[in-house]
Amino acid sequence: MDPLNYVPPGPRLSQGDIVRAPIGVFARAADLADPAMVDDAPAAPAYGDPRGIALHVPWRSLSGTEETAAQLVLRAWHFPAVVVTPDCGIDKEPAQILVAPVLPLVAAAPVDRDGVRAGTFLMACHLPADPEMIFADGSDFAFPESYVDLTRTTALAPQLVLDQRMVALSEAQCDRFQEAWVRFVAGRELSSTGTVDAAAGKRVRTVDTLESSRRRHTVLFTFEDDSVIVLYQEPRRRGDHLQEVRVRNGAFDPPEVQAVAGSTIVLRFENNDRRDWNLACPALGLESCRIAAASTTPVLVRCPTAAGDLELVNRDKRGATLRLCIVAVPQHVAVDR
């Protein structure tokens, strides 16, 4: 089992634990691929079965008509799932916690898979494959490339999954899952306009740490004009490196970028051309990344932990490549202390 991605679960239920869990959503019978599967007393769903069950729910006041009310069904599955609720929330012993199901990537629509891998698909979080996943009970499994389906996040009593923990996301993977969750719940509505952008040019008067945990600090900045802004700081995470790359006639300038093994780098493509280009690097999980015409496109790259060279290829102009030279961290350099 690769400890960079997965680790044994800790002594208590935590965010990032992968558990066996019931997952449920409400739907209309008419929207089911097979409306005949609706059953007033279905058999228990088999673990991992994507078909699941559909249970009729007699909800009379759902609408003004008996016809529509009779259509309400509960779709339920028994799936592996990631615990979504943060540790601080679990520590409060709530009546419910949130979990989100884990599905093999082949279950996603083909058009969405590249976006899931690249982290640009808003409704999912990518989980890498592991050929030798070792579960808490000592069993092993060839875990396929998968994704967390955030759209089917379910609330349930934590007691249902306390003894159903199998494995846990590593700290790095848990950080990435948190990023995906924040984008999912706030990415379409939350804008930096009027918030972070409004802080440009201001002088900071005080910095106060409102809350601190193993994974995050909540920090309050107070400016000289008495305006404030609250930011979250990941204490063990290094900032992403930023590298500007210009695109002219489909070619990249500079043609070569250096990065440190195991780090993340943001490639900010400034496309001066009047057409889109299609960037790809399968080794980085980028099967197809659109570089928009006459605009800036940031691309987040998570570098492998081993040194070496990779090529990002303009699929619309095969001769145009951007070489990513990944170098090892010098032994005399102290990192993250």
337 within a domain of the structure (yes/no): no
CA distance linking residue 190 with residue 184, whole number of Å: 11
Q: Is the pLDDT of residue 325 over 80?
A: yes
Q: How many residues would you count in the chain?
A: 337
The pair of structure tokens assigned to 245 is 């790359």
Contact between 74 and 24 (Cβ < 8 Å): yes
CA distance linking residue 251 with residue 150, whole number of Å: 37
Confidence of residue 168 (pLDDT cuts 50, 70, 90): very high
**Longest pairwise C-alpha distance within the chain:** 74
Same domain, 135 and 271: no
What's the total number of domains in the chain? 3
Q: Is the pLDDT of residue 97 over 80?
A: yes
335 within a domain of the structure (yes/no): no
Q: Give residue-wise pLDDT tens across range 38-69.
A: 876 677 888 888 888 888 887 765 555 555 55
CA distance linking residue 157 with residue 313, whole number of Å: 48
pLDDT value of position 103: 94
What is the extent of the structural domain holding 65?
Answer: 6-186
CA distance linking residue 99 with residue 15, whole number of Å: 9
Same domain, 41 and 159: yes
* Phi–psi pair at 55, nearest 5 degrees: -115, 125
Pairing of strands 286-291, 277-281: antiparallel
Reference 128, options 10, 2, 309; nearest CA is 2
pLDDT value of position 189: 42
The pair of structure tokens assigned to 204 is 């900071």
30 within a domain of the structure (yes/no): yes
Contact between 199 and 229 (Cβ < 8 Å): yes
261 within a domain of the structure (yes/no): yes
- CATH number of residue 294's parent domain: 2.60.40.420
pLDDT value of position 260: 86
Same domain, 12 and 156: yes
Same domain, 181 and 208: no
Q: Give residue-wise pLDDT tens across range 215-235.
A: 667 788 888 888 878 777 665
pLDDT value of position 242: 83
Same domain, 27 and 124: yes
Q: Give residue-wise pLDDT tens across range 229-278.
A: 877 766 555 556 788 999 999 999 999 999 888 888 889 999 999 999 99
Contact between 112 and 151 (Cβ < 8 Å): no
